[in-house]
Amino acid sequence: MTAADKAKVFLALAIALAGIYLSLLQLIQTQALLRALVFFGSLGTAAGIMYFSDPGRRFVVYARESLGELRKVVWPQREEVLKMSGVVIVFVTLVAIFLYLVDALLSWLLGFLAL
pLDDT band (50, 70, 90) for residue 28: confident
Q: What share of residues in the chain are helix, strand, coil (percent, to 5)?
A: 85, 0, 15
Alpha-carbon distance of 100 to 50, in angstroms, equals 53
How many C-beta atoms surround the C-beta of residue 86 within 10 A? 10
Contact 60, 47 (CB under 8 A): no
Domain ranges of the chain: 1-73, 75-115
Alpha-carbon distance of 5 to 101, in angstroms, equals 60
Alpha-carbon distance of 93 to 86, in angstroms, equals 11
The proportion of the chain whose per-residue pLDDT surpasses 70, expressed as a percent, equals 99
pLDDT in tens, 66-111: 999 999 999 899 999 999 999 999 999 999 999 999 999 999 999 8
